[in-house]
A and B are shown apart, each in its own frame.
Chain A
Amino acid sequence: MSDVGYGEEPTQDDLDWAEYGKTFTPATQIELLNATSEKLVGRTALVGIVLAAGGLVAVSSVLANSLSRGWAIAAVTMAGGAILVALVTQVRWPRKVRPGDIHDLKRWHADYVGWRRTALAFASFLLVPAFLAAAVAAGVALTAPPAPPAVNVTATTVPGADGGAPTQTLTGSVTIPAQGSDDVAEITVVANGETVVRMRQAASAGTIAASFEAKGVQTDVGITVTATSAAWKCVLNLARPRGEVCRALAAE
């Protein structure tokens, strides 16, 4: 019979790999599973960093755009699913094992390793589309046109103390897309010719967002909110809040 394979002198590479092969013991398989599970839980946090494009976009602006919101929800759902699966693999049911009996030890090991291996493979696979969806969401939010500027103000009447005349409390907000990171909006609220709010708000994550409150304002007076940034001027008259509130300033 000529069907014989003769052994050769092993190369150093053969010996090195044979040595590595010996590390595939039942104990290292369990260590590998536990390490994989812990890494998965740690890495899902990176999906959030991708979602915010490393801080370039605010999560609020990712959620403001309906397209990027869909991708963000998909990313968070998949990352959450991966965390859930990884956490489930960390659950240990109590069981008695007889370590002196190789049969029993093998059965215990097969039970421990079996489904965890499949579950962790699935969870680590899930992180890949989660990252992609997060990147798409951040990309859509970065390239989408910014939300139009908006000014809102609400007046609440407060009864006067000791039978005095009632007053009103004004609360409001201003949101203006920023023209660069050093853009600043000047916001004033004028009631009956008197300035009751004057503030400056700097841009943050591509948006100038401010909220204000003025108490003790006389009732039945004209109220005007003015907000001016580098690119926009908004004027809201509370008596007639309809019409174009904000207009783009001509580029100089």
Chain B
Amino acid sequence: MPELKLTPSTFACRIHDNREKLTPLVRGAVIQRTAAFMVGGANDFRVVVECPGAGTKEDGAHPLTFSGKWSRE
């Protein structure tokens, strides 16, 4: 699997300082591949990942949508 370049390259939550956790989660969601019958492809992405939140009961995990473009390096 060749390295994918994502634009933007860093992903963050507006509320929580979780970019170190969110960036690999988005990356993982984009590069995940599985076998399927072909219908076509495009190089823009839109993924839903869980922001872990602040890790407390009141301020816990919540889903976030990220979008951008990918390309092969």
Minimum C-beta distance from A231 to chain B (A): 53
Contact present for A113 and B35 (CB under 8 Å): yes
Residues 117-133 (chain A) with a chain B CB within 8 angstroms: 117, 120-121
Number of interface residues of A (CB under 8 A): 23
Given A18-B48, A113-B35, A6 and B65 touching (CB < 8 A)? no
Given contacts A9-B65, A10-B64, A15-B48, contact A4 B34 (CB under 8 A): no
Is there an interface contact between A3 and B64, defined as CB atoms closer than 8 Å? Answer: no
Q: How far is the CA of A32 from the CA of B36 in the complex (A)?
A: 9
- Closest A residue, CB atoms, query B67: A5
Closest chain A residue, CB of each to CB of B62: A9
By a CB distance below 8 angstroms, the chain B residues around A117 are 35, 37
| Cβ distance A233 to chain B, nearest Cβ, rounded Å | 60
B positions within 8 Å CB-CB of A: 7-14, 19, 22, 26, 34-38, 46-49, 51, 63-68
Residues of A that sit less than 8 Å from B by CB: 1, 3-11, 14-15, 17-18, 24, 29, 32, 36, 113-114, 117, 120-121
Closest 9 CB pairs of A and B: A7-B64, A18-B48, A5-B8, A10-B65, A3-B8, A4-B10, A24-B34, A14-B65, A10-B63
